Amino acid sequence: MTVTVDTFADAKDVYRSRDLRQSLYDEGEVVMADVLVNLHGTEHRDRRRVENRLFRRDVFEHYERELFPGIVEQTLAPHVAAGGADLVHLGHELMLNLAALTAGVDRPQGTAAETDRLHAYMLRFIQGATLAHGTGDREATVAAVAQALADWDEEFLTPSIERRRSLLAAEAAGESVEVPADVLTTLLRHGDELGLPRHVVRREVAFFLLAGGHTSATAFVRTVDHLLTWFDRHPDQADRWDDPLFVQRCVHETVRLNPSSPVGRRRALAPVRLRSGVEIATGDTVVIDLHAVNRDQSVFGADAREFDPDRVTPPGVGPFGLSFAAGMHVCIGQDLAAGVVARPDTDPSSHLTGLVTGAVRQLFAAGVARDPVRPPEPDSATARPYWGTYPVLLGVGR
């Protein structure tokens, strides 16, 4: 039996129940089997405890203030010079460059061709992870994804592992070396503690690559779309793109209205009764309708379906709704991608706004505008609400 929840309160109860196991990616196990987001109980706790050592504020500050701005500038430069780009491709290229850094995937050549190959691999991984929403031949997709994983491992992952093992050995010998702060290094550094087989390390790093590269890319594209529409409707606010707290609120509002997955899904390991009285039997599938949950008018107001970056949410409610989940499976990269939620007295000069906010601001600084002759088109290859192409001009008004 399938139980669907569509209120904020019920969804929060579902996410916090230890008797409801993640099942959203059951059909995408070619990529998602044994990765952090799919683990439960002590397995999940132990791996998350290790990976939390990477996802700390000091690491985020290093990424956001020192590493990411230069990568964004370098990625944007050729598109600005060309006067335009496909925002969908640009978003994936941009966030892939950032995700590779955090996942621990080296790109020694640093060429556009190398980035394109890594992007093609990531698109295959996305196909595998979202297999339940795909529209093509599933067996053929699984085979293609498995082959892509093997090829990516040989070209990118194996050399990245070898370089980190060498650096970790040098560090252990007391040498002065700079060891990267990334997911792969963290897994290798704590290899004895975790005891992960090689194929699990491969999927874990691939997952962080696609999660950072894909979900952040879709949030980036959708935020730019919402902002362009907002400025069209509020031309007197056109300079607010330079306010980091405003842009961060735009990212949060975008993620609330457009979660990376339109649903969450759990499987009941034992009977569960939600505080609202909803009964869930052992073996039931629970579907969290995130579009409905994040538009719950009792929480977000009568205009909950509208984009409003100046929206004020009730105490204890994240401005992004439950798009990052809650409880034990709350997104480990939430603060890295979307930043720390600001308070009324937040100082923007010291605040972490997240990598998506930073990338959006740099894009607007480059003078982005919709292409007046080529409208955006939805992606017809998936049932999920993604843009397939989104032409933009760059350098406008500069």
CATH of the domain at 10: 1.10.630.10
* Dihedral angle, C-alpha 128, 288, 226, 379, nearest 10 °: 30
User: Is 387 a member of any domain?
Assistant: no
- Give me the pLDDT at residue 381, please: 66
Q: What is the residue-averaged pLDDT of the chain?
A: 92
Tokens of 327: 């409880």
Q: pLDDT of 10-22, one tens digit each?
A: 999 999 999 999 9
- Give me the pLDDT at residue 383, please: 63
User: Is 191 a member of any domain?
Assistant: yes
User: With bands split at pLDDT 50, 70 and 90, how would you rate the model's confidence at 104?
Assistant: very high
With a pLDDT cut of 70, the percent of the chain lying above it is 97
* Dihedral angle, C-alpha 353, 104, 144, 134, nearest 10 °: -20
- Which residue range(s) make up the domain with 320? 2-368
Q: Where are the beta strands (DSSP E) in the chain?
A: 2-5, 20-22, 84-86, 263-268, 272-273, 279-280, 285-289, 369-370, 377-378, 387-389, 391-393
Tokens of 41: 């109980």
User: With bands split at pLDDT 50, 70 and 90, how would you rate the model's confidence at 110?
Assistant: confident
User: Is 270 a member of any domain?
Assistant: yes
User: Is 110 a member of any domain?
Assistant: yes
Residue 340 is which amino acid?
A: V
Query: How many independent structural domains does the chain possess?
Result: 1
User: With bands split at pLDDT 50, 70 and 90, how would you rate the model's confidence at 347?
Assistant: very high
Gap between the Cα atoms of 218 and 259, Å rounded: 9
Element (H, E) at 94: helix 87-103
Residue 303 clears pLDDT 80, i.e. is over it: yes
User: Is 335 a member of any domain?
Assistant: yes
CA angle 205, 131, 157 (to 5 degrees): 20
| Angle between helical axes of 138-152 and 198-210 (0-180°, round to 10) | 100
- Lowest-confidence segment of 34-38, 82-86, 288-292, 353-357 by average pLDDT: 34-38
Q: pLDDT of 122-142, one tens digit each?
A: 888 988 887 766 667 788 889
User: Is 390 a member of any domain?
Assistant: no
User: Is 104 a member of any domain?
Assistant: yes
> Please, are residues 85 and 76 in contact by the beta-carbon 8 Å criterion?
no
- Give me the pLDDT at residue 18, please: 95
Q: DSSP label at 63? A: I
At residue 272, the 3 state secondary structure works out as strand
User: Is 393 a member of any domain?
Assistant: no
Please give the average per-residue pLDDT across 351-362, as a whole number.
96
User: With bands split at pLDDT 50, 70 and 90, how would you rate the model's confidence at 355?
Assistant: very high
- Give me the pLDDT at residue 213, please: 86
Gap between the Cα atoms of 75 and 303, Å rounded: 37
Tokens of 75: 């990625």
Please give the average per-residue pLDDT across 343-363, as a whole number.
94
Please give the average per-residue pLDDT across 299-307, as a whole number.
97
Count the neighbouring beta carbons within 10 Å of the beta carbon of residue 247. Answer: 25
User: With bands split at pLDDT 50, 70 and 90, how would you rate the model's confidence at 153?
Assistant: very high
